[in-house]
Amino acid sequence: MTTPQGALLVGSVNFDDAEKTMRVAAEMLGERLRRVPDGEVGKRFHWIMFQPDVLGQADGIERVGDEPIPFPAGLDARPLRIAEGADAAAIELPPLGYAEAAIESYAVFSRLRDGGVLPEGVRFQVSLPTPLAVISSFFSGEDRTEIEPVYTAAMLRELDRILAGIPHEDLAVQWDVASEMGIIERAAGYGRVMDAWWPGDPFDGLVSRLAALVDAVPADVEVGVHLCYGDAGEKHFVEPQDAGNLVRYANAVVAAASRPLTWLHLPVPIERDDAAYFEALAALTPVGELYLGLVHREDGVEGAERRIAAASRFVEEFGVATECGIGRAPAGSTEGILRTHAEVAAAW
């Protein structure tokens, strides 16, 4: 059986602050990590759910409904719409919050590295949602088409601020790609989203959008793609039949992008330790680093090793990760999840 090389922390970690995330990650995973995230603490804990509160501040964007829809952490989950009579192209969105958080956490990263807590050579990982995730989740109908270039430009401004505020040799950017997989799989709700937004097969449009985001990251900055089936309540929005659509989409994005992917992350459902799930990996276009999200808190090392053995039949080199971030995992489970990474993977 292959011994996986290295580990990837996909993004969120169930700790209260960035410093604890980085310290514990360094202590438990050490040389298995090439990148360290800040754990997506604070308002990013629930991924994109803070974005409606941000976008709702813009002139020309309204919340749908008269009363807030309460969401954990004091967020308002009401969707959004373009106000009647507003010109979407003229809407000025406020800063989205990602650059501010990244630059603040990078200061922690730098201090810990200077103090010897983090090793030289490890990079600071910033995870960003694709614009499509926010647009498809919170807008509807023709508003999606009108707001897409506006929100995409705002996200690219966030990226530019990150690139300006963090030395490129220290930076790694990951694009979190969940809604796209829902659309490709035509999961419940996603098919109707696309029928109303993009007539016909949306696959080529999904490829070109993600490839453009990959290419927006300069060549001297690492870039990764995390493909995802969601983790609301630690459940997928659809259970994939196998890794075929993941491989198809990843291969198309790699072919369309002008720069190479530094790493690619693919999820592995907990119940899949059979050859049928992994067989498509034999056709995966090589990338710099491949990580398989086969670590699950429920079955620890034993389960991870079963899935490693199955994957090893079709791909020789890969590292390990969880399927998604572990920020929503039960309190007290984080160290055990990290320990599983360490026990099944070798150092780089």
Q: Where residue 216 sits, what CATH number does that domain have?
A: 3.20.20.210
Residue 11 lies in a domain: no
pLDDT, tens digit, 9 for 90 and up, residues 221-272:
999 999 998 765 556 667 889 999 999 999 999 999 999 999 999 999 999 9
**Which long-range contacts link 17-21 to residues 24+ away (Cβ below 8 Å)?**
17/41, 18/104, 18/105, 18/108, 18/109, 19/108, 19/112
- 4 domain residue, yes or no: no
What's the pLDDT score for residue 73?
Answer: 76
Is the pLDDT at 196 greater than 70, yes or no? no
Q: What does DSSP say about strands 75-76 and 70-71: parallel, antiparallel, or unpaired? A: antiparallel
Range of the domain at 27: 18-344
User: What is the pTM assigned to this prediction?
Assistant: 0.95
Give residues with Cβ within 8 angstroms of 197, minimum separation 6.
136, 144, 145
| Among the ranges given (31-40, 122-131, 329-338), the one the predictor scored with the smallest mean pLDDT | 329-338
Q: What are phi and psi of 81, to 5 degrees?
A: -150, 160
As a whole number, mean pLDDT of residues 262-289 equals 97
Find the radius of gyration of the CA atoms of the chain: 19
Asked if the structure places residue 267 within a domain, the reply is yes
Say if 5 falls within a structural domain.
no
Residue 145: Cβ within 10 Å count: 14
Overall number of domains in the chain? 1
| 46 located within any domain | yes
Three-class SS of residue 225?
strand
Is the residue at 318 inside a domain?
yes
